Structure 1
Amino acid sequence: LLSGLDRARLAQMAEKARALARPDAAGAVAQACMELAR
């Protein structure tokens, strides 16, 4: 899957992924699960 990509392309993809990242995602999912469990 990654063998056809060069270092520059992988770095670009990583940068875009970091821009979309939601550091609080796990906490938000856990909170939603707790609310549904009540």
Structure 2
Amino acid sequence: ERLECNNYNTYRSKKYPEMYVALQRSGQYKTGTKTGPGQKAI
């Protein structure tokens, strides 16, 4: 977990360090096909 300068948290994958984990507002993870760069959870 890392707190970015815009007050968002980012979560990096342990298994694939170059990848990030996308979370929904409910805390559930998103599948790769449902995410995109810079996408905000709705």
TM-score (norm: length of structure 1): 0.19
- The higher-RCO structure (CA 8 Å, 6+ apart) is 2
Q: Could you say which structure has the higher strand fraction? A: 2
TM-score (norm: length of structure 2): 0.18
